[in-house]
Amino acid sequence: MSELASESSAQGAGARGHRTSEVAPRNARHVVVVGYGMAGSRLAEEIRRRDRAGERVSVTVIGEEPHAAYNRVLLSSVVAGTMTAESTRLHDEDWAQAHGIDLRLGVSVTAIDREARTVALSDGGELSYDALVLATGSRAWVPPTEGLRTDSGALAAGVATFRDLADCAAILDKARPGAPVAVLGGGLLGLEAARGLAGRGSLVTVVHPAGHIMERQLDPAAGAVLAKALAAHGIEFRVGRLAARYMPGDGLKLDDGSHVPADLVVVSAGVRAETTLAASIGLTVEQGIVIDDALRTNDPRIHAIGDCAQHPGTVSGLVQPAWEQAEVLADLLTGENPSSRYRGTPVVTRLKARDVDLAALGEVHTEVDSPDAEVLCLHDPARGRYAKLVLREDRVTGAIVIGAPDAAATITQLYDAKSPAPTDRLALLLGRALPSVGAVASSPADLPASAVVCRCNTVTKGQLVKAWRAGAVEVADLAKATRATTGCGGCGDAVRGIADWLARA
């Protein structure tokens, strides 16, 4: 029965759809991907990586936006002005053609019939599927602050969300050097936007309702250090405050009655998973579409990945989980590896903001006096540094690192590999191995005789001393006697130093 069904559906797709490729054989299973964002586009790539010729799976991708998928991670670079919209594109124009993908742009899904396994499209078309993948992403959440929306529900003049390329265009259109901008929301994306705009010369104020910025990823002390580091780039903060009202052309009035001038308000107050379609067909939806380790919804023919999905092992809103999910799902849909499963992604938060280095991972709210964990903390607000390390059973289980990029890199690798932390915890915390005692001798007298002075010719201090005592008192004579300095010449100063020291002694 199922074989027959899949055969007819593949034919159906071929007959009804405008095929960009003729490669799909009759018995290929038809996968319909709803959403051509970072998750949906990646899934199509991963499927074709495993099934290059489309022998096992034919793929249709439906994208609501009229243009090629782009890399959302780079939007903050677009706002910062260091990257063009064009350079964020994930695919070239001919990508779908070249990979045998049926790509429908500017089209949305209007209905799904789970019984008939069909999808109805906004252009009147209909597709059958063997497997349906929801990769519908998320949308910006706009708080119910008075004045942010017009009566029709559209964003008011001077208000922009920060979610897609069109938002970037709107922001860049309004943000002018010297003009005031308010950013609503001091989370990761809000701060990246704020840093980008400040870098372009806007006068940025971040309004954040919680007691400190990035409160999910940072403890209060780290939040304060980060705010101070960003303040050095001209960004002002109003934390613990809600916006009460927006007045176009003027700015925001906060809940304490104070006023934040703004020609532009960038709303970055969080996102909500796009689950409308899933809910409408009776799939289980909580914060997102609930999925299991095989990326299945409660309908085993329907999968969900990326921001719209809710998996117990990860948080949404980041690209890494979406890409790892796409790999697992491609394994399953192509039959490449039927035992492949998604077990969650350990999240490492990195702030992409020029000259401000922040990493946060794992348990960040564990305090130094916690009885059951080893916690180290360096708090150096004057120099914009904060480093906190949480270890359990010798493994890194959490960290916050601000202003110590080397430490962040090493700690992240230890966290990902679950490998034991170095015994020198301090060096780990600071990011650079401390010089071992005696490694740097301040004077030739401190060098042991066995120390190699000329590496190119393995000449020790002892040999130089012996040659000097035998009458080779000039560098040239020492070179002749021992060959020191005759390789790369890099030890010339050291040899001269030894000769001088012996002459003085």
Per DSSP, the three-state class of 93 is coil
The CA distances from residue 202 to 165, 265, 484, in Å, are 20, 12, 59
Q: Which is nearer to another protein, 259 or 455 (CB)?
A: 455
**DSSP at 5:** H
Q: What ranges make up the beta strands (E) of 354-420?
A: 358-362, 374-380, 385-392, 395-402
Cβ neighbours, 10 Å, residue 423: 8
Candidates 24, 32, 74, 159; binder of another protein (CB under 8 A) is: 74
Residue 97 lies near another protein (rule: CB under 8 A): no
Record the tokens describing residue 167, joined without a space: 């938002």
Confirm if 99 and 46 have CB atoms less than 8 A apart: no
Q: Which is nearer to another protein, 96 or 243 (CB)?
A: 96
Residue span binding another protein (CB under 8 A) among the ranges 81-89, 304-312, 380-388, 470-478: 81-89
Q: What span, in angstroms and rounded, lies between the C-alpha atoms of 348 and 361? A: 5
Candidates 348, 399, 472, 498; binder of another protein (CB under 8 A) is: 348
Q: Least CB distance from residue 348 to another protein, whole Å? A: 6
Residue 405 lies near another protein (rule: CB under 8 A): yes
Record the tokens describing residue 328, joined without a space: 């697992």
Site string for another protein, 419-448 (x = CB under 8 A): xx-xxx--------x--x------------
Candidates 46, 357, 385, 388; binder of another protein (CB under 8 A) is: 357
Candidates 232, 313, 489, 500; binder of another protein (CB under 8 A) is: 489
Candidates 412, 472, 495, 498; binder of another protein (CB under 8 A) is: 412
Site for another protein in 204-223 (CB under 8 A): none
Q: Least CB distance from residue 358 to another protein, whole Å? A: 10
The CA distances from residue 360 to 57, 354, 357, 387, in Å, are 39, 17, 10, 10
Q: What ranges make up the beta strands (E) of 53-179?
A: 57-63, 101-105, 109-113, 118-121, 126-128, 131-134, 138-140, 159-161
Residue length, the chain? 505
Side-chain-side CA neighbours of residue 415 (13 Å): 25
Q: Least CB distance from residue 42 to another protein, whole Å? A: 9
Residue 320 lies near another protein (rule: CB under 8 A): yes
- List of residues contacting another protein (CB under 8 A): 71, 73-74, 77, 82-83, 87-92, 320, 348, 350, 352, 357, 405-406, 408-410, 412-413, 416-417, 419-420, 422-424, 433, 436, 455-458, 483, 486-490
